[in-house]
């Protein structure tokens, strides 16, 4: 799966690759959302593809990955604009690193054009169909207006695979000094 490929790109050992694939495969949210064939299915694909392309761009320096990023984000825009959260997050994260040199690529403009094409298609569809996405969002917000926000956050943990905690909690050990990691048996 794509998460396992990302872990490999980041230098993860085969055990880490297997665990990432397993955790992704067991996410209850993916089972439900993809079983019902909703727009979130395409949104998930776009986020994962864009993330993989970004990892490849940063690891290899091959600027052609900008086209893949633009295509993935443009594809995501066809489903719904939540992919812009990914774009904003990556942009803010990029501004906090030394990876700004990748923004000087000649392929950045065509990548942005691909995003714009997807965004324009989404916008035209919304205009033609009475802003269906906005109406749906309002309905969902009204439906959940009385819920306790802490319950919502806890539900996200459950829906997005509590089993993966057995992976990400030990994964936090990567932030520990090397001697501590060695004692914990990291890759």
Q: What is the pLDDT of residues 141-181, one digit of tens each?
A: 777 666 666 776 677 666 666 766 776 677 767 666 665 44
Q: Can you say how many angstroms the Cα of residue 136 is from the centroid of all Cα atoms in its chain?
A: 22
If pLDDT is split at 50, 70 and 90, which confidence band does 136 have? confident
Q: For residue 63, count other CB atoms closer than 10 A to its CB.
A: 15
> What's the whole-number average pLDDT of the chain?
82
Q: How far apart are the C-alpha atoms of 104 and 133, rounded to whole Å? A: 34
In three-state form (DSSP H/G/I as H, E/B as E, the rest C), the secondary structure along 91-129 is HHHHHCCCHHHHHHCCCHHHHHHHHHHHHHHHHHHHHHC
- pLDDT tens readout for residues 7-62: 999 888 898 898 888 877 777 666 666 666 677 788 888 999 999 999 999 999 99
Q: What is the DSSP letter of 81?
A: T
Let me know: does 108 contact 66? Beta carbons within 8 Å: yes
Where would I find the H helices in 11-148?
Answer: 14-25, 28-35, 39-60, 65-79, 83-95, 108-128, 132-143
If pLDDT is split at 50, 70 and 90, which confidence band does 95 have? confident
Q: For residue 148, count other CB atoms closer than 10 A to its CB.
A: 8
Q: How far apart are the C-alpha atoms of 71 and 115, rounded to whole Å? A: 7
What is the distance in angstroms between the CA of the first residue and the CA of the last residue of the chain?
20
Q: Supply the pLDDT for residue 175.
A: 67
Q: Supply the pLDDT for residue 41.
A: 81
Q: Supply the pLDDT for residue 181.
A: 47
If pLDDT is split at 50, 70 and 90, which confidence band does 123 have? very high
């Amino acid at each position: 799966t794509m998460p396992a490929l990302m872990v490999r790109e980041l230098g993860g050992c085969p055990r880490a690759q297997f665990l990432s694939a397993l955790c992704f495969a067991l996410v209850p949210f993916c089972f439900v959302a993809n079983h019902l064939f909703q727009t979130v299915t395409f949104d998930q694909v776009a986020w994962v593809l864009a993330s993989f392309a970004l990892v490849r761009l940063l690891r290899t320096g091959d600027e052609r990955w900008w086209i893949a990023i633009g295509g993935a984000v443009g594809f995501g825009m066809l489903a719904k604009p939540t992919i812009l959260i990914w774009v904003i997050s990556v942009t803010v994260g990029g501004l906090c690193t030394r990876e700004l040199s990748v923004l000087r690529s000649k392929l950045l403009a065509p990548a942005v054009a691909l995003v714009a094409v997807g965004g324009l298609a989404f916008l035209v569809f919304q205009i033609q169909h009475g802003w269906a996405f906005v109406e749906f969002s309002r309905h969902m917000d009204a439906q959940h207006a009385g819920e306790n926000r802490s319950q919502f956050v806890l539900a996200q943990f459950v829906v997005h695979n509590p089993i993966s905690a057995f992976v990400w909690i030990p994964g936090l050990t990567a932030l520990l000094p090397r001697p501590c990691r060695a004692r914990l048996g990291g890759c």
